[in-house]
Amino acid sequence: MKAAAFEYVRPVTLSEACAILRADEDARVIAGGQTLVPMMAMRLARPSRLVDVARLPELAGIADEGAAVSFGAATRQLDAEKSTLVKIKLPLLAAALPWVGHRPTRSRGTVGGSVANADPAAEIPLVLVTLAGEVEFATADGVETCAARDFFTGPMMTALPQDAVLTRVRFPVWSGRVGVGFHEVSTRRSDFAYVSACAQVRFENGVCAQLAVGVGGGVPVPTRLDAVAQALVGTAMSDADIDAALEAPVAALDIMTDHYASTDYRRRVARELAARALRDARDAAIGAAA
pLDDT of residue 45: 82
Give the span between the Cα atoms of 257 and 264, in whole angstroms. 9
Residues 130 and 81 both lie in one domain: yes
Structural domain contains residue 190:
yes
pLDDT value for 289 = 64
Q: What is the largest CA-CA distance in the chain?
A: 62
CATH of the domain at 262: 3.30.390.50
What's the pLDDT score for residue 222? 97
30 within domain boundaries = yes
Instruction: Give the whole-angstrom CA distance, residue 217 versus residue 267.
Output: 11
- Say what the pTM is: 0.95
Same domain, 76 and 165: yes
For 178-234, the pLDDT digits (tens) are 999 999 999 877 678 999 999 999 999 999 999 999 999 999 999 999 999 999 999
- Check whether residue 263 and residue 229 sit in a common domain: yes
> Which residues in the chain show pLDDT less than 70?
1, 190, 289-290
Q: What domain range is 26 assigned to?
A: 7-52
**Residues 21, 71: one domain?**
no
Q: What is the CATH number of the domain that holds 70?
A: 3.30.465.10
**Around Cβ 246, how many Cβ atoms within 10 Å?**
24
* Count of domains for the chain: 3
